Amino acid sequence: MSTYDELIGRDDVNDLEAILAVTNSDRDAVISTVAQHAEAIFTWDYTKGERPALDKLYEKAKVSMWNGETDLPWDTPVDQEQLVVVNAEQNAAQGLGLADFDVTGTPFESWTEQQWIKLGIESQNWTLSQFMHGEQGALICTAKIVETVPWIDAKYYASTQVMDEARHVEVFAKYLDTKLSGYYPVNAHLKMLLDDIVADSRWDMTYLGMQIMVEGLALAAFGFMHQMTTEPLLKQLLRYVMSDEARHVAFGVLSLKEYYEQLSDAEMLERQEFAFEAAVRMRDRFMQQEVWERMDVPVKEAIELVMRTPTRQLFQMMLFSKIVPNCKKLGLLDRNDQWLRRRFEEIEVIQFEDWVDTSDEYERFALGEQLEPTVG
């Protein structure tokens, strides 16, 4: 069994100093290379529909394509400053100010309205940038799945997802470029995770890292943002992306369920450890450390304050609302003396274990369906 230090590079999962010490060191580089060690697998068994659930998903994907250029209202004007102000007014209606926490005695005490607005704008630029980078991770991972998965139904389905992910990268990049006011390089924690997923030689690890962990989190984060944003173009963009993402997570759950049923305890432990590492990396990335650096405030102090606010804690937990039930469905929580359950207890996300898993939830996310709110 690995130690925390071996898994995540620190002994204490909440060691903020260690988390912040991980930074992106090549911010100006245009490309980044990762060696992948997986073997490409041909299959000569072309029997379509041998895995009916994957076949159904593939047929569904074929008729669910949309066009990011023509299906979204790109002529919608976006005023970032105005959006931050509207958001703040919503906070005010709940008795909260621009800060949504008590600023007395903190570095924020002397902040002007302009500084708060800048924070809101930077935060949005950062969030959308990281979504875009994550989408590219998905593009690369699903192309890898096409090569490495041994089943024809899965190769067929994964190929549709490659197209989906290209479209997602495209629409987030266009939104950043034409509607927002700045761009952030990939967050170092997110990049470490993407590199680990791509580098792994085992085909199911691409699925676990990307389809279950990264996409499970993305689906929850997009849902949260879709519900919160008052900007109509972004709302629609997220709605379209989510209709695809729900299928992607289902693909992961349906494929791995079959495969994990026959793995030994030792093999399962490696998967449990990988899931935990991924969960921690994603939790770390959402601290938005690069935003605080740009705002010129003491980063550690700022993060400690903000992470304690109720809105932030709710958001932070909601991110795991899809991941935990899906891990449970795959048998990852309780194998090896409940190893992953204990870890999820430690990072306080186990309460989602009995929420709906995503194996057949994708119908509910189809375009034209009414989405239920993610939070009450």
Using CB under 5 A, list all residues that contact Fe ion: 135, 138, 165, 168, 215, 245, 248
Least distance from C-beta 307 to Fe ion, angstroms?
27
Least distance from C-beta 237 to Fe ion, angstroms?
12
The DSSP symbol for 350 reads G
Backbone phi and psi for residue 111, each to the nearest 5 degrees, phi listed first: -65, 140
Cα maximum dimension of the chain: 68
- Residue of 252, 246, 120, 240 whose CA lies nearest to 171: 240
Q: What is the rounded distance in angstroms from the CA atom of residue 29 to the CA atom of residue 89?
A: 39
Query: DSSP string of 182-229?
Result: ---PPPHHHHHHHHHHHH-S-HHHHIIIIIIIIHHHHHHHHHHHHHH-
* Nearer CB in complex with Fe ion: 13/237: 237
* Nearer CB in complex with Fe ion: 100/215: 215
* Nearer CB in complex with Fe ion: 216/325: 216
* Nearer CB in complex with Fe ion: 249/295: 249
Least distance from C-beta 165 to Fe ion, angstroms?
5
* Nearer CB in complex with Fe ion: 98/132: 132
Least distance from C-beta 32 to Fe ion, angstroms?
19
* Nearer CB in complex with Fe ion: 153/165: 165
* Whole-number CA gyration radius for the chain: 21
Q: What is the number of alpha carbons within 13 Å of residue 211 lying toward its C-beta?
A: 30
* Nearer CB in complex with Fe ion: 91/229: 229
* Nearer CB in complex with Fe ion: 99/138: 138
Least distance from C-beta 160 to Fe ion, angstroms?
11
With b for 16 or more beta-carbon neighbours within 10 A and e for fewer, the 62-80 pattern comes to eebebebeeebeeeeebeb
Least distance from C-beta 21 to Fe ion, angstroms?
30
Q: Pseudo-torsion of CA 32, 131, 149, 68, nearest 10°?
A: -110
Report which residue type is found at 57.
Answer: L
The DSSP symbol for 355 reads S
Least distance from C-beta 91 to Fe ion, angstroms?
30
* Nearer CB in complex with Fe ion: 168/341: 168
Terminal CA-to-CA distance of the chain, rounded, Å? 39
Q: What is the rounded distance in angstroms from the CA atom of residue 219 to the CA atom of residue 242?
A: 6
**C-beta separation of 326 from 358 below 8 A:** yes
Q: What is the rounded distance in angstroms from the CA atom of residue 199 to the CA atom of residue 193?
A: 10
Q: What is the rounded distance in angstroms from the CA atom of residue 336 to the CA atom of residue 268?
A: 8
**C-beta separation of 132 from 182 below 8 A:** no
Q: Please, which residues have CB within 8 angstroms of residue 93's CB and are 6 or more apart in sequence?
A: none
Q: Pseudo-torsion of CA 253, 257, 260, 265, nearest 10°?
A: 90
* Nearer CB in complex with Fe ion: 138/291: 138
Least distance from C-beta 68 to Fe ion, angstroms?
12
Least distance from C-beta 223 to Fe ion, angstroms?
13
Least distance from C-beta 155 to Fe ion, angstroms?
17
Q: What is the rounded distance in angstroms from the CA atom of residue 98 to the CA atom of residue 32?
A: 38
